[in-house]
Amino acid sequence: MKKLLFPKAIAHSVYDLDPGRLAERGIKAVISDLDDTLTPYYHTAPNEKLCAWLAELKKQGIRVFILSNGKKRRVKPLCDALGVECIAMAMKPLPFSYLRVFRRLGLKREEVVYVGDQIFTDILGGNLSGLHTILVEPIAYKQSKREIKKRELEKPYRRVAEGKA
Q: In the complex with Mg ion, which residue's Cβ is closer, 110 or 137?
A: 137
Q: Considering only 12-20, 102-110, 115-123, 156-164, which stretch makes contact with Mg ion by CB under 5 A?
A: 115-123
Q: If we measure between CA atoms, which residue out of 4, 64, 12, 66 comes closest to residue 35?
A: 66
Is there a contact between 75 and 66 (Cβ–Cβ < 8 Å)? yes
117 touches Mg ion (CB under 5 A): yes
CB of 124 to Mg ion, least distance (A): 13
Shortest distance (Å) from residue 59 CB to Mg ion = 26
Nearest CB to Mg ion, comparing residues 117 and 154: 117
**At 35, is the secondary structure helix, strand, or coil?**
strand
1 burial level (CB within 10 Å; 0-12, 13-18, 19+): exposed
Site string for Mg ion, 27-56 (x = CB under 5 A): ------x-xxx-------------------
Q: Does 154 bind Mg ion (CB under 5 A)?
A: no
**Residue ranges binding Mg ion (CB under 5 A):** 33, 35-37, 117
